[in-house]
Chain A
Amino acid sequence: MKAEDLQQVRPAFHDPALGSQAVFRAALNALSHPGRLHDMPQVTDLPRHGHGAAAALLLAMVDSNCAVWLSPALANTDTAAWLRFHTGCPWAASANLARFLWVAKGDALPTLNTLAMGSDEYPDQSATVVIEVDALSDCAEQGAHAFNLRGPGIADMQSLWVLGLPQDFAEQWEANHRAFPRGVDVFLATTTQIAGLPRSTRIGATQEA
């Protein structure tokens, strides 16, 4: 890291142990209850670029063994320096080599089935994608994707409205789900909230709300 980058770096967790545990708990709950909205605890200073919930999530999850891929809007910003300084993560040369991906708002989402999906023997060696979205809601919202989610962790059906995902996300997700037990897991993140989409979740009938 260069001295100029270091000069821009902001602090991270106010309390490293309790902060990362609180964020980990939020991530665990998000994957245990797919599609349910979870508030990200406000336990860390944030970089200038990128959504706060996504930043906190990656700060807690990533370490020096996780290759991270940042979408173009985040690469070479103070956010990249911040994440690298506090976690020691290496950068993945391309999206398909990464264990964690952070896709900024407005950047193209890499096609899900080109990412690391693990193998049948080791489905855990797959990528986790954190996608920044404009809004998440559990009630109908104008112009948002309406997702009806079913699968483990959902009693009957979970409704989720997402603003800011690519048009073909449901089809990509269908292909991702078909590869089970291989596949990627997704977190959708606004500035303050996250929702989890583990690979076991199915997206039902999609229509524009």
Chain B
Amino acid sequence: MFHAFDNAGPNHTLQRPDWMALLARAPLALLEQGLDKQSATEPRWLRRPETGLYMVQARAGGTGERFNLGEMTVTRCALRMGDDGSGLVGVAYVMGRDHRQAQMAAMADALLQDPAQRDALDAKLLQPVREHLALLQMQRAARAEATKVDFFTVAREAGGADEEDDA
């Protein structure tokens, strides 16, 4: 889903939390397409992809007592790009069990930290992801819109049966 913070705005420089939030929600097809031939390189693993559970907590009404909403499946990994052991370290946490998706997201994170590649990747990889997420949100909003019910109070007709009872 697209969020307000995904909309970078004209004067906002892209920060690591921004692109990590996008990569965490990016589908595998878009990641592979955006990384292009770099998706075929074999990274050096710091932590191979592993799937586990996270307890998601929420607050009643957004401000009330904290409670456990439920567990979600998360796959995480950490890797280093390049063969010489001095490359940039990329990290990814993605929802679900797809190891390949976590790997692609971590590789994208590592490459995006390189200022020389950032702008190109922003256009090729992140922008399609933003559009995809915005589309998802629009579709969902449209679906919700179709079932919207406007409640309004029907004005009682004057001289109805009820008033006669009260009298």
**Cα-based distance from A76 to B46 in the complex (angstroms):** 19
Chain A residues numbered 167-199 whose CB sits less than 8 Å from any CB in chain B? none
Tell me the bound Cα distance from A32 to B134 in angstroms: 62
- Contact assessment for A9 and B89 in the assembled complex, using a CB-CB cutoff below 8 Å: yes
A207 at the interface (CB under 8 A from B): no
Q: How far is the CA of A6 from the CA of B88 in the complex (A)?
A: 10
> Chain A interface secondary structure, helix, strand, loop or mixed?
helix
Q: Please determine whether A6 and B44 come into contact, CB atoms closer than 8 angstroms.
A: no
Task: Scan A1-18; emit 1 where CB is below 8 A from any B CB, else 0.
Answer: 001001101111000100
Question: Are B89 and A11 in contact (CB-based, < 8 A)?
Answer: no
- Cα A121 to Cα B135 in complex, Å, equals 63
With A and B bound together, what is the CA distance between A195 and B25 in angstroms? 49
Query: What is the bound-complex CA distance between A85 and B47, given in angstroms?
Result: 9
Docked complex Cα distance between A57 and B146 (Å)? 61
Does A9 lie within 8 Å of B46, measured CB to CB? Answer: yes
Shortest C-beta distance, A59 to chain B (Å), equals: 13
A16 to B77, CA, bound (A): 14
Which of B16, B45, B88, B91 is A11 in contact with, Cβ under 8 Å?
B45
A6, A12, A86: the one within 8 Å of B91 (CB)? A6
Indicate the member of A7, A9, A11, A16 with the most B CB atoms within 10 Å: A11
With A and B bound together, what is the CA distance between A16 and B44 in angstroms? 15
Q: How far is the CB of B113 from chain A (nearest CB, A)?
A: 9
In the complex, A195→B88 CA distance in Å?
Answer: 38
Residue of A nearest to B87 (CB): A7
Complex Cα gap A10–B79 (Å): 10
Q: In whole angstroms, how far apart are the Cα atoms of A3 and B45 in the complex?
A: 17
Name A14's closest neighbour in chain B (CB-CB): B45
For chain B residues 10-62, which have a beta carbon within 8 Å of chain A?
16, 44-48
Q: Is B107 an interface residue (CB 8 A)?
A: no
**CB nearest to A5 among chain B residues:** B89
**Of residues 1 to 53 in A, which have CB atoms within 8 Å of B's CB atoms?**
3, 6-7, 9-12, 16
- Among B46, B48, B78, the most chain A Cβ lie within 10 Å of the Cβ of B46
On whether the beta carbons of B78 and A6 are closer than 8 Å, the reply is yes
Whether the Cβ atoms of B45 and A6 lie closer than 8 Å is no
Q: Are B88 and A7 in contact (CB under 8 A)?
A: yes
* Binary flags per residue of A85-120, CB closer than 8 Å to B gives 1, else 0: 110000000000000000000000000000000000
Are A7 and B89 touching (Cβ within 8 A)? yes
Q: Which residues of B contact A16 (CB under 8 A)?
A: 48
In-complex Cβ contact of B89 among A6, A12, A86 (8 A)? A6
- B2 smallest CB distance to A (angstroms): 26
Contact B16 A3 (CB under 8 A): yes
CB proximity to A under 8 Å, residues B60-96? 78, 85, 88-89, 91
Please measure, in the bound complex, the distance between the C-alpha atom of A165 and the C-alpha atom of B43, giving whole angstroms.
Answer: 42
A202 to chain B, nearest CB (A): 43
Q: Which 10 A-B pairs have the closest CB atoms?
A: A7-B89, A11-B46, A6-B89, A9-B46, A11-B45, A11-B44, A9-B89, A6-B91, A7-B88, A85-B46
A/B interface sample: 16 pairs, CB < 8 A: A3-B16, A6-B78, A6-B89, A6-B91, A7-B88, A7-B89, A9-B46, A9-B78, A10-B46, A10-B85, A11-B44, A11-B45, A12-B46, A16-B48, A85-B46, A85-B47
Besides A3-B16, A7-B89, A11-B46, 17 new A-B residue pairs in contact (Cβ under 8 A), listed by A number: A6-B78, A6-B89, A6-B91, A7-B88, A9-B46, A9-B78, A9-B89, A10-B46, A10-B85, A11-B44, A11-B45, A12-B46, A16-B48, A85-B46, A85-B47, A85-B78, A86-B47
